[in-house]
Each structure stands twice: as structure tokens, then as C-alpha cells.
């Protein structure tokens, strides 16, 4: 999560700073980073031997798992959380820079700094969030740090200065650093070993559907009033956190009951 945030959000920040010298610089920088990524993949990711692949497949071989298992209660809860989380991505891709530039008077550099303000605390605190997710009930973490983001969206909608947005982005990044590791850990725990890739694919699909939905919903709302997308996003995200968090909580309770029942009786 920390490295994902580093690439996904430091990229726009650095791109915004590079764009102050010319928009071509941002595209050239993006191309150079991709070349570096290709080199790292070639030389740092080891190849898997054929014998190892065969052994791994034989170890995971077992009875076929129905596709209905992809929609088990704990996974549906995670999908709903992903849908709500990616609503912001739809807003970010379509309206975020326009909103900051046209209504808050932010320059390209300030927009880039805002993204970096979100990313840096996320990078620093995500390992801490992962440790907390390993030790505490994940549904509680999701509820606390998910619902705490709702006022952030409302305050963003009320913001009148770009500097306020930068501060709110920093706070938002701190909160996100705790909820995302909890959701990721929940998905890993709830996925069968032979279907983890399919679960991750379904999780990403629901997230992208949320981004698509957000982009198409928020654009007409923005045309009516530029504050409406953020207010609407806050309400929808809060609803997804409540519904998805309840499903995660129920699945945790069921898992705990099963563990107690299956625990051997000591004589």
C-alpha cells in the first residue's frame, strides 16, 4: 500500500512540478520512469523454474471452487468498500484539477503539492497501519478510519482556498493509511488459496466500476454546483463504509465461532 501510494500519488505531484517548466517535461518524466520500471522487472524479479511451477500447482490442486465463492459475504463487503473508495478516483480523473484551478485559484504547482501532501503521510504511515491491522479487529479499523474520511469530503466541498485543500489532503492521507491495509488484509484472509487472483481481479473490477460511476455522476453535478460532487461523494462513501464494514464485522464473528468450534478439547 505504501509503495502503491508512492507511485500513484507522488507521480501527479512530481508531474505537476515538472509541468511548471513545460508540459512536455511531465510526459518525458513519465516515460523515463516506465523505462526504469522495465529494467527493474527484468533484473530484479527472478524467473520461476518449471519444476517449481509444477510443484506449486500440484500443491494447490483440489476440488473445484464455485464462482459463487467469489461473492461470499466477507468478499462482497470488501467489494463494496472498493466501490466507495474508487468514487474519489472518478472525481480525481475528471474534475479534481479543474476544481482546484477554476474555483480555488490553484496553480499547477500547488495542485501537484496537494497530491504529494496526500501521498507522503500515506507512505510513512501505511506500514504502521498494516501493523495495527494485524493486531486489531479489522472491521473496527475500517469503521473508524473510513467514517473519519466523510467529514474530510464535506470540508473539501466547503473549501475556498487551495491551502485548506492541501491541509485536508494531508489529514486524508493519514486516515487512508490505516483503512487500506485493513481492507487488504481482510481480502487475503477471506480468499481461498486457489482463487486469490480471481478475488483480486473482482476487487479491482468493483473499484473501477466505482471510478466509472463517480466520473459519470460527478460531472453533471459539477456543472450544477462545483461543491455538489464532494458532498455527494462523502455521503456515498460513508454509506459504502457502513454497509461494507457491517459485512466484514459479520464475517469476522462467523470466523471466530468456527475457530472456537474447531478448537480441539484439551484433556
Contact 206, 76 (CB under 8 A): no
pLDDT at 93: 86
pLDDT at 258: 53
Burial per residue of 66-81, b for 16 or more beta-carbon CB atoms within 10 angstroms, e otherwise: eeeebebebbbbbbbb
Q: How far apart are CA 183 and CA 151, in angstroms?
A: 20
Whether 233 is in a domain gets the answer yes
pLDDT at 213: 94
Whether 133 is in a domain gets the answer yes
Whether 172 is in a domain gets the answer yes
Q: How far apart are CA 86 and CA 189, in angstroms?
A: 22
Residue among 120, 108, 143, 147 at smallest CA distance from 17: 108
pLDDT per residue as tens digits for the range 180-229? 999 999 998 888 877 888 899 999 999 999 999 999 999 999 999 999 99
Whether 131 is in a domain gets the answer yes
Whether 107 is in a domain gets the answer yes
Total domains present in the chain: 1
pLDDT at 97: 87
Whole-prediction pTM value?
Answer: 0.79
C-alpha cell at 244: 461494507
Q: How far apart are CA 200 and CA 157, in angstroms?
A: 32
Whether 150 is in a domain gets the answer yes
**Alpha helix locations (H) across the chain?**
2-19, 23-44, 50-60, 73-94, 96-104, 108-135, 138-147, 149-158, 162-190, 196-224, 228-262
Please give the C-alpha separations between residue 224 and each of 147, 164, 217, 218, 220, in angstroms, as whole numbers. Answer: 27, 23, 12, 10, 7
pLDDT at 64: 58
Please count the CA atoms within 13 angstroms of the CA of 23 that sit on its side-chain side.
1
Q: What is the largest CA-CA distance in the chain?
A: 75
Whether 50 is in a domain gets the answer no
**Per-residue pLDDT in tens (0 to 9) along the chain, 267 residues:** 556 656 666 666 666 666 667 667 667 777 787 788 788 778 777 665 555 555 445 445 455 566 778 888 999 999 999 999 999 989 988 899 899 999 999 888 888 888 888 888 888 898 899 999 988 899 999 999 999 999 999 999 999 999 999 999 999 999 999 999 999 999 988 888 778 888 999 999 999 999 999 999 999 999 999 999 999 999 999 999 999 999 999 988 887 655 544 455 454
Percent of the chain topping pLDDT 90 = 46
We report the CATH number of the domain holding residue 167 as 1.20.1250.20
Please give the residue range of the domain that contains residue 113: 2-45+69-255
pLDDT at 220: 93
Whether 57 is in a domain gets the answer no
Amino acid at each position: 500500500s505504501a509503495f502503491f501510494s508512492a507511485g500513484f500519488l507522488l507521480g501527479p505531484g512530481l508531474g505537476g512540478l515538472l509541468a511548471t517548466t513545460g508540459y512536455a517535461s511531465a510526459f518525458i518524466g513519465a516515460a523515463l520512469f516506465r523505462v526504469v520500471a522495465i529494467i527493474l522487472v527484468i533484473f530484479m524479479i527472478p524467473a520461476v523454474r518449471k519444476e517449481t511451477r509444477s510443484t506449486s500447482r500440484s500443491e494447490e490442486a483440489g476440488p473445484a471452487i464455485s464462482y459463487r465463492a467469489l461473492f461470499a459475504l466477507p468478499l462482497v463487503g470488501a467489494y463494496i468498500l472498493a466501490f466507495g473508495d474508487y468514487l474519489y478516483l472518478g472525481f480525481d480523473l475528471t474534475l479534481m484539477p479543474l476544481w482546484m484551478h477554476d474555483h480555488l485559484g490553484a496553480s499547477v504547482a500547488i495542485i501537484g503539492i496537494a497530491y504529494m501532501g496526500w501521498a507522503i503521510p500515506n507512505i510513512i504511515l501505511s506500514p504502521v497501519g498494516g501493523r495495527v491491522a494485524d493486531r486489531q479487529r479489522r472491521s473496527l479499523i475500517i469503521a473508524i478510519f473510513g467514517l473519519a474520511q466523510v467529514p474530510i469530503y464535506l470540508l473539501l466541498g466547503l473549501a475556498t482556498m487551495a491551502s485548506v485543500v492541501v491541509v485536508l489532503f494531508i489529514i486524508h492521507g493519514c486516515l487512508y493509511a490505516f483503512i487500506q491495509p485493513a481492507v487488504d488484509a481482510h481480502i487475503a484472509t477471506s480468499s481461498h488459496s486457489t482463487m486469490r487472483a480471481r478475488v483480486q481481479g473482482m476487487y479491482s473490477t468493483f473499484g473501477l466500476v466505482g471510478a466509472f460511476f463517480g466520473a459519470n455522476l460527478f460531472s453533471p453535478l459539477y456543472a450544477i454546483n462545483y461543491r455538489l460532487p464532494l458532498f455527494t461523494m462523502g455521503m456515498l462513501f460513508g454509506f459504502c463504509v457502513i454497509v461494507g464494514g457491517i459485512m466484514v464485522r459479520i464475517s469476522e464473528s462467523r470466523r471466530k465461532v468456527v475457530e472456537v468450534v474447531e478448537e480441539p478439547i484439551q484433556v
